[in-house]
Chain A
């Protein structure tokens, strides 16, 4: 039998690193409908999962893929699917189902040029708002945006851990550049990889057990189908027994808890990277492959005498609004660079009173650093008002 964790130094494509991250995290089930530019994930897991005692199923479409991983998760598996924009749209309904049934699972979206089938082989970042708002209803989702092949590995592990910890779908919102690029990926020894497991019932099967009664952390323990617990799992609004209840009070309580369990864990979930912000007048906010272009643009801007720092969002959802708030007090303006026509820029605006300049392209190519540089220059020129006193931030 092959190894589950390929410890060592590799030169590995991002999609493949994502698949290896899933295996390292303990994934035992993948259901999917291969689509460019995510196909290499399915291809890799189709070969690797059976080698380590797991299962790969190619489904008839993305609706079924999403449904299958929810079922597998309830059977106790750590389960994942991978897709791109067109398939991500089809998964929306069942992502909401996973949220409502509090089902740990990981969904990878290797974004390409959209809308519709758009640019199958070329990059984009225009699904990031859909990630938050695509399924109906009030819900919180966790989403990460890897910017390197190493992060495709690392963040996939974290996605599985967060999914288990909070019993929620977790999204990897990567883009084609990161998915198809090849870089060094260091895979640690198996014992060094942190694996979190979902909370489990404290009472044995047969005894009185409420499957949707949560404690302090608002995350109820999760039994496994077939273990003997008499449970009912339901997409309708349900009470702590899991039974459908058509009551406004129960509904409000349930939906608030589903949201609150994620919001309350903000500090555990949020991750970002700051660079050269200490004396910065302008901060470029970006994520995924665009963050690499932003670093390059910031470096050029510094050489030209402009004081520019960068904020790379690693967690997209919940949105790291607090760091934007904190930075706002000491800079003149933000530039938000993204391969869409300005999606996360709106979210940034909700957390700052500083001007938010945009560097956008609809996709089809990696963000050219020159385009970000032009926005930095514009911000430098046009952002009025004096820079406030320097204050140190963590």
Chain B
């Protein structure tokens, strides 16, 4: 079944890398088909960044996303742009401290940046978010996402990133009632 994931935030948050790691987990380690397309502004940091990942058992022909099954938003701007683009019944996951949700909107709220800071480096907030995503949706297997993180981040940061992944995963499993 075709499942469409959009991860969006601002440049510098590691949005594209998060999309890459998710797609790689599916395509290389879960033996599914996956595509990643990316868009970002001309700025090195601070501009809008968005990754579109499509995962399917069948080959993916069309890699673009209209309405996502899973929407991960890590900035207020991303929420303004894509907040309404969730498919009915889809899963919305937001960075709790950066995304001001409209009243009544259901979402899985993860303070990813804070959790990353507790681990020592806010730069791994994207990986915390990935852990949360996998825990909340099961779109790829735990083993696949672990392996994908391990082979995608700089070697010296593997431990930190795996801790970040685990932290996001646990946070959702423990604190968030699945909607």
Contacts and interface: CB of A to CB of B under 8 A. Distances in A.
Interface string B10-47: 00000000001001100110000111111000000000
Mostly, the B contact residues are: mixed
A69 B33 CA distance: 37
B63 A184 contact: no
Contact of A182 (B20, B62, B148): B20
A30 B35 CA distance: 28
Nearest to B29: A9
A181 B35 contact: yes
Contacts, number: 46
Interface in A205-243: none
Interface in A166-183: 177, 180-183
Contacts of B114: none
A390 interface: no
Given A9-B28, A11-B27, A181 B61 contact: no
B67 to A, nearest CB: 15
Residue among B20, B23, B34, B35 having the largest count of chain A Cβ atoms under 10 Å: B35
A183 B34 contact: yes
Contact of B28 (A11, A292, A369): A11
Contacts of A177: 37, 63
Contacts of B34: 11, 183-184
A182 B148 CA distance: 14
B122 interface: no
A293 interface: yes
A383 to B, nearest CB: 25
A292 B20 contact: no
B27 to A, nearest CB: 4
A182 B61 contact: no
A324 B24 CA distance: 38
Contacts of A181: 35-37, 63
B28 A293 contact: no
A9 B144 CA distance: 14
A3 interface: no
Nearest to A291: B61
B35 A183 contact: yes
A11 B23 contact: yes
A226 to B, nearest CB: 42
Contacts of A296: 61-62
Contact of B64 (A11, A295, A366): A366
A10 interface: yes
Contacts of B63: 177, 181, 292, 366
Contact of B61 (A10, A180, A295): A295
A128 B20 CA distance: 31
Contacts of A182: 20, 23, 35-38
B36 to A, nearest CB: 4
Contacts of A299: 61
A174 to B, nearest CB: 15
B27 A292 contact: no
Contacts of A366: 62-64
A301 to B, nearest CB: 14
Nearest to A367: B62
A286 B87 CA distance: 31
B35 A369 contact: no
Contacts of B35: 181-183
A152 to B, nearest CB: 13
Contact of B24 (A11, A180, A293, A295): A11
A366 B64 CA distance: 9
Contacts of A180: 37-38
Interface string B79-99: 000000000000000000000
Interface in A142-185: 177, 180-184
Interface of B: 20, 23-24, 27-28, 33-38, 60-64, 148
5 contacts: A177-B63, A183-B36, A293-B61, A296-B61, A366-B62
The 5 A-B pairs of least Cβ separation, nearest first, read A11-B24, A184-B27, A182-B36, A292-B61, A296-B61
Given A11-B28, A182-B38, A184-B28, 4 more contacts: A11-B24, A181-B63, A182-B20, A366-B62
